[in-house]
Chains A and B, each alone.
Chain A
Amino acid sequence: MKKIIKYVLYDIVRNKIVVAYTLFLLLLSVGLFNLGSSPEKGLLSLLNLVLLTVPLISIVFATTHFYNSYEFMELLVSQPIKRSKIFMSEYLGVTLSLSAALVIGMGIPVMLFAPGATGLYLVLTGVFITFIFVALAFLASVLTRDKAKGIGIALLLWFYFALIYDGIVLFILYSFADYPLEYATLTMTALNPVDLGRIMVLLNLDVSALMGYTGALYKSIFGSMWGIVSAFGVMLLWVTIPLITSRNIFQKRDL
């Protein structure tokens, strides 16, 4: 398995997209920190970046990578290697390279300009989102053999989590405005890793005072060790569920 991961990693680094991604993140992070008047502002702008571009790049890159390495996988399948092993090595190869890009490209500037718990949460959220969206991308790719269709499904997933979901929840909140919605909102945000990450970082920033009663409630939940651990636990669920589902499909299907 180590050997396969090594080969996948080597393959990814060689096609230079990940290097470009690292440089892009590095440039953007340093730029944002230098532009903003305070490190906190920089973190806020970076948060928007993490929540929009990181999922998009992860999902598109992972889907295209999966389809591009189809022949390689077919070759491996003919060897006495378990399918789940092949699948997991592919997954780990992609996520590790993308996370490394994120940690180098964003983690280093964050640690330099705005060290602290908030920055750590931001980078952690970014890493988790990478893991989650690569898993979702693999799920999309094993669902169909057609590359165009696969990328389409992947993009749709990104669109759903980054955009449509918030719209739906806002609509629900608006329709049921007469009811106490604090815990409902909490549940609904847990159903979207992007929202979960955003709230976790926002609550650690100063803006949480704006959020009134709901903010205070959330802060009491996410402020505690238990809350943080459970939030990352939910994130972990978001990684494992699509990953295991797609691995099972990959094991059974006709290549």
Chain B
Amino acid sequence: MRNLSKNIVVWTACTLVWLLGCPLAFGDTLKVCNTCEYHSVKEAVRKAKAGDVVLVDGGVYLESGIEITQPISLIGRNNPVIDGRNSGQIITIKSSNVKLEGFTVQNVAVSYMRDDAAIRVADRENIQILNNTVLNTYFGIYLQNADNSVVKGNVVKGVNTGKIESALGNAIHVWRTDGAEISNNRVEGHRDGIYFEYVTNSLVHENTSERNNRYGLHFMFSDGNVYTRNIFRKNGAGVAVMYTRDIRMEHNTFEDNWGAAAYGLLLKDISQSTIRNNTFRRNTTGIYMESSSRLHIEGNDFDRNGWAIRLLASCIQDTFRLNNFTANSFDVSTNGSPTMNLFEQNYWDKYTGYDLNKNSVGDVPYRPVSLYSMLVERVPPSVMFMRSFMVDLLDSIERVMPSFIPETLIDESPLMKKINHDSDRKLVQNLR
């Protein structure tokens, strides 16, 4: 407790020093509040020169069309609210090196022609958007061509009940940007939670994206990005990523993406990427893979999904190692016979083999594709016979004497025990 209070004192002192030092070092402080020199944020921002700080005190400001054209810091104290009253875009950043922090920005109407956002950055670099709350807007935070920008600690909440997909914008929309950092944000109730197009070398870290109408995370043509420790939950269609290579997805959670057309993670034309230590829980389809090649899918947990993995025949050279498959209706299903994909040392709860030499690797191979899952893939209406006794019987016979299921989809060394990805590091190391 003493440590904590000490910390607080130190931090407060630091902040004070910074607050005092900042204007001295960079420029003037323009204060905005009811009794201050400026009553409107727009006016203060217009007057501010490069390096100034515009300090906005708590209160409701009914404004929109605030344009930042100088490298300033626009900082909110005591949670000031900027209410656009549905009269267009609220804050547009048209200068590099701008910092925007601590505001609640709300009410932007749907605009199909202009794509109005609460906060938009256009063609400038090094922008920091920190700890803002964006409520009830069309697009939330929109970065276009904004290299090396940081979007951190923001909450973007939309209202999507009863709205169709095309009447909604994205919460965080990033287009043609290099080196962006999107972290610790919480986005919900939009079309896509986080949307990337032509975004490269960026980091998406510890975000929570839930209850969006379409995708929790959606990216295309965005090479070299890293996605870690994000949570994607209850999104209309899960997460979809397309036409991209060299990505890393680690320690993310994909859960409760449940519905006739929902996926935990949909991969289309993804290559040379790593998907490691993620959790896929209660999704209709855990991972759906189409035309994806050279992926390393390792150390993931697939729990209680309808299909854990749907691997289409167009996928080649993918590796599945050290994953846990538990309580899924179908472990792996496919529509043909995908070639050169490797399954090894996974744990399958449906595995019934034995381990005579006690090396914790099963002595008989496991075939994760069941006959019925292939039949469903070929003839979708046959899904109505799920849990029919005949289907179980056919599956058991096929397990014993495989003749229809693809020969190439086989785990030659299934594990006997579930891997505990948190504490069994040693075992994992040994097996690697």
A residues lining the B interface (CB < 8 Å): 44, 47-48, 51-52, 162-164, 166-167, 169-170, 173-174, 177, 181-182, 184-185, 189, 195, 198-199, 202, 206-207, 209-216, 218
Complex alpha-carbon distance, A166 and B378, angstroms: 17
The reply to whether A47 and B389 contact each other, CB–CB distance below 8 Å, is no
Contact at B306–A210, with CB atoms within 8 Å? yes
* Interface residue from A44, A206, A210 paired with B383 (Cβ < 8 Å): A210
Q: Counting CB contacts under 8 A, is B387 at the interface?
A: yes
The residue that A177 contacts in the complex, of B306, B378, B386, B388, with Cβ under 8 A, is B378
Chain A, Cβ-Cβ closest to B305:
A210
B389 touches A210 (CB 8 A): no
- Inter-subunit contact B390/A211 (CB<8 Å): no
CA distance A189 to B389 in the complex (A): 14
Q: Which of A47, A51, A173, A216 contacts B379 (CB 8 A)?
A: A173
Residue of A163, A174, A212, A215 near B390 (CB, 8 A) is A163
**Interface: B34 (CB within 8 A):** no
Q: Binary interface profile of B, 323-346, with partner A (CB < 8 Å = 1, else 0)?
A: 000000100000000000000000
Q: Is B384 an interface residue (CB 8 A)?
A: yes
26 A–B contact pairs at CB < 8 A? A48-B387, A51-B389, A163-B393, A166-B390, A169-B385, A170-B382, A170-B394, A173-B382, A174-B375, A174-B382, A181-B379, A184-B381, A185-B381, A185-B382, A189-B384, A195-B388, A198-B388, A207-B306, A209-B258, A209-B260, A210-B307, A210-B386, A211-B383, A212-B383, A213-B380, A215-B260
Q: Is the Cβ of B389 less than 8 Å from the Cβ of A163? A: yes
Q: Which residue of B lies closest to A182 (CB)?
A: B381
> Is the CB–CB distance between B384 and A185 below 8 Å?
yes
Complex contacts, B388 vs chain A, CB 8 Å = 166, 195, 198
Q: Which residue of B lies closest to A165 (CB)?
A: B390
Query: Which among A48, A195, A209 has the greatest number of chain B C-beta atoms within 10 A?
Result: A209
Please tell me if B284 contacts chain A, counting CB pairs below 8 Å: yes
Q: Which residues of B contact A (CB under 8 A)?
A: 258-260, 262, 284, 306-307, 329, 375, 378-391, 393-394
Assembly CA distance A214 to B260 (angstroms): 10
- Would you call A215 and B383 a contact (CB within 8 A)? yes
Closest to A174 in B: B379
Known contacts A209-B262, A209-B306; is-contact A48 B384 (Cβ 8 Å):
no
Closest A residue to B261 by beta carbon equals A212
Given pairs A209-B258, A211-B384, A214-B383, 19 additional interface contacts (CB within 8 A): A48-B389, A163-B390, A166-B385, A167-B390, A167-B394, A173-B381, A174-B379, A174-B382, A182-B381, A184-B381, A195-B388, A207-B306, A209-B262, A209-B284, A210-B386, A211-B383, A211-B386, A214-B384, A218-B384
Assembly CA distance A213 to B380 (angstroms): 8
In the complex, the answer to whether B260 meets A212 with C-beta atoms within 8 Å is yes
- Whether A52 pairs with B306 at a CB distance below 8 angstroms is no
Shortest Cβ distance from residue B376 to the other chain A in the assembled complex, whole angstroms? 8
- Bound Cα distance from A214 to B284, whole angstroms: 15
Is the pair B384, A199 in contact by a Cβ cutoff of 8 Å?
Answer: yes
Count A/B pairs, Cβ under 8 Å. 84
Q: How far is the CA of A166 from the CA of B391 in the complex (A)?
A: 8
Which chain A residue shows the least CB distance to B390?
A166
* Closest-CB distance, B372 to chain A (whole angstroms): 9
Closest 7 CB pairs of A and B: A166-B390, A210-B306, A185-B381, A181-B381, A177-B379, A166-B388, A211-B383
CB distance from A133 to the nearest CB of B (A): 15
In the complex, the answer to whether A195 meets B284 with C-beta atoms within 8 Å is no
The contact of A213 among B258, B260, B375, B386, by CB within 8 Å, is B260
Decide: A170 near B381, CB < 8 A? Known: A209-B258, A209-B260, A209-B306.
no
Taken together as a complex, chains A and B put the C-alpha atoms of A241 and B380 apart, in Å, by 32
Give complex CA distance A213, B378 in Å.
Answer: 13
Contacts of B386 in A (CB 8 A): 202, 207, 210-211
Q: In the assembled complex, how far is the CB of residue B47 from the closest CB belonging to chain A, in whole angstroms?
A: 56
Question: Across the interface, which residues of A come within 8 angstroms of B383, CB to CB?
Answer: 210-212, 214-215
Cα A139 to Cα B284 in complex, Å, equals 44
B249–chain A nearest beta-carbon distance, Å: 24
Task: Evaluate contact between B393 and A214: CB separation under 8 angstroms.
Answer: no
**Which of B385, B393, B394 has the most chain A CB atoms inside 10 A of its CB?**
B385
| A contact residues around B387 at 8 Å (CB) | 44, 47-48, 198, 202
Give B391's nearest chain A residue, CB to CB: A166
Closest residue on chain B to residue A163 by CB atoms: B390
What separation, in Å, do the CA atoms of A214 and B379 have in the docked complex? 10
Contact A209–B389 (Cβ < 8 Å): no
Residues of B close to A184: CB separation below 8 A: 381
A177 nearest in chain B by CB position: B379
Task: Report yes or no: B380 in contact with A212, Cβ–Cβ below 8 A.
Answer: yes
Query: How far is B345's CA from A39's CA once the two chains are assembled, in angstroms?
Result: 33
A52, B389: Cβ atoms closer than 8 Å: yes
- CA of A195 to CA of B387, assembled, Å: 10
Shortest B281–chain A CB gap in Å is: 14
Instruction: Give Cα A209–Cα B262 distance, bound, in whole angstroms.
Output: 9
Q: How far is the CB of A205 from chain B (nearest CB, A)?
A: 10
A185 (CB) vs chain B CBs: closest residue: B381
Residues of A contacting B262 in the complex (Cβ-Cβ under 8 angstroms): 209
Q: Which residue of B lies closest to A217 (CB)?
A: B381
- For A216, the closest partner residue in chain B by CB is B260
A51 / chain B contacts, CB cutoff of 8 Å? 389
Residues of B within 8 A of A209 (CB): 258-260, 262, 284, 306
Q: A170–B375 contact, CB under 8 A?
A: yes
With the chains together, A169 CA to B385 CA distance in Å? 9
How many Å lie between the Cα of A151 and that of B134 in the bound state? 73
CA A199 to CA B381, docked complex, whole Å: 12
- A56 to chain B minimum Cβ distance, whole angstroms, is 11
Which of B259, B307, B329, B381 sits near A214, CB closer than 8 Å? Answer: B381
- Please indicate the chain A residues that have their CB under 8 angstroms from the CB of B391 in the complex: 166, 170
Q: For the complex, what is the distance from the CA of A198 to the CA of B391, rounded to whole Å? A: 13
